[in-house]
Structure 1
Amino acid sequence: MPSGTPGDTQDIGGPQVRRLRLQGESGVVPLARDFTRQALYAWGWLPAAGADQRAAAEDVLLVVSELVTNACLHAEGPDELLLACDNKVIRVEVSDGGTGQPAPRTPHRAGRPGGHGMFIVQRLCLDWGVVRPTGRPGKTVWAELGAPG
């Protein structure tokens, strides 16, 4: 498959990588969740063998939902979702054309509607950040979660 095609996969001795092109698609949040769920099955995170594995898979799905939703709300929608997995960490990357800087709202107020996305990402992930390409607009927001067990 050409790079960037929905379902594009790569498994060459390192991390397993899957890419989903989202630019111009509708219903991108459920599309991204379904794509991620398929990857988790392929990588053995699902079906979950126990509560820890089930919680880890749900955390990955939630982080994907939050990052894709943020690209919809604060940019002009996501361009691509990239998932990379080795035995220890899964990395989620969502690229968009936006110029904003994602950050958890401070102070965080649990009872207030909205504004919880990056707080959730921060709480669930080992680390997260933003990479900006040189010479063109946009960004990639990435997050890393630990494998269960």
Structure 2
Amino acid sequence: MTSSGGPPPPSDTQRPGLPAAGQRRRLVMAGLPGPVSRGRNFTRQALLDWRWPADRTPSAEESVEDVLLLVSELLANAALHAGGPQELILHATPTVLRIEVLDASPLVPQPRSPHLPALPGGHGLHIVKRLSDRWGVATREDGKTVWAEVDPGSTPPPTRSR
């Protein structure tokens, strides 16, 4: 029997379109106008290329929208509070999608406390905390990196209705 020479079918641990070791994409954003929309478009294309998440169910589409909202919040926070984002880095592996936004400010962001959902503003990091599986800040010599991670197949807890 001859082999078709094509790639082997994906295993349970490998997503189609995503190498087993993962893949990283980087968008330099320093000085570019419209960082939020550029970052969302960049992220949407990376997720399509990686076929992330692998299934195309309604909950998977919600997961993509959640990732795009995370990117929007991280980039908007950098634009509003840190002089603008310098870079957006996406790193996907079979077990995690990591979103990193680098900026030049040394100030570490803190969620507004108390969180007042009825008032405008101050919701960005609360949204990041709710939609990601993990998030944090890494300081660098020339600023900081605010990051969030999403595990494939994870869904945020349902919101409470009043």
TM-score interval (norm. to shorter): 0.7 to 0.9
Question: Which residue of structure 2 aligns with residue 26 of structure 1?
Answer: 33
C-alpha distance in structure 1 between counterparts of 2:80 and 2:20, whole Å: 37
Q: How many residues align?
A: 137
Larger Rg: 2
C-alpha distance in structure 2 between counterparts of 1:77 and 1:120, whole Å: 19
8 Å CA contact 2:20–2:93 kept in 1: the answer is no
C-alpha distance in structure 1 between counterparts of 2:55 and 2:79, whole Å: 30
Deviation at 1:46, TM superposition (A): 6.6
1:143 matched to 2:135? The reply is: no
Question: Which residue of structure 1 aligns with residue 66 of structure 2?
Answer: 59
Q: Where does structure 2 lack aligned partners over 5 or more consecutive residues?
A: 1-17, 155-162
Pick one of 86, 94, 116 that aligns with 1:79.
86
| Amino acid corresponding to residue 26 of structure 1 in structure 2 | P
Deviation at 1:45, TM superposition (A): 2.3
Question: Which residue of structure 1 aligns with residue 120 of structure 2?
Answer: 113
CA RMSD of aligned residues (A): 1.8
C-alpha distance in structure 2 between counterparts of 1:13 and 1:89, whole Å: 12
Distance 1:65 1:98, change over 3 A: same
Deviation at 1:96, TM superposition (A): 0.3
Q: Where does structure 1 lack aligned partners over 5 or more consecutive residues?
A: 1-10
Pick one of 90, 102, 113 that aligns with 2:109.
102
C-alpha distance in structure 2 between counterparts of 1:123 and 1:67, whole Å: 13
Q: Give the ranges of 4+ consecutive aligned residues of structure 1 lying more than 3 Å apart after TM superposition.
A: none
| Amino acid corresponding to residue 79 of structure 2 in structure 1 | C
Deviation at 1:32, TM superposition (A): 0.3
Q: Alignment partner of 1:122: what SS?
A: helix
C-alpha distance in structure 1 between counterparts of 2:52 and 2:121, whole Å: 30
Identical-residue share of aligned pairs (%): 47
1:132 matched to 2:148? The reply is: no
Q: Alignment partner of 1:132: what SS?
A: strand
| Amino acid corresponding to residue 137 of structure 1 in structure 2 | D
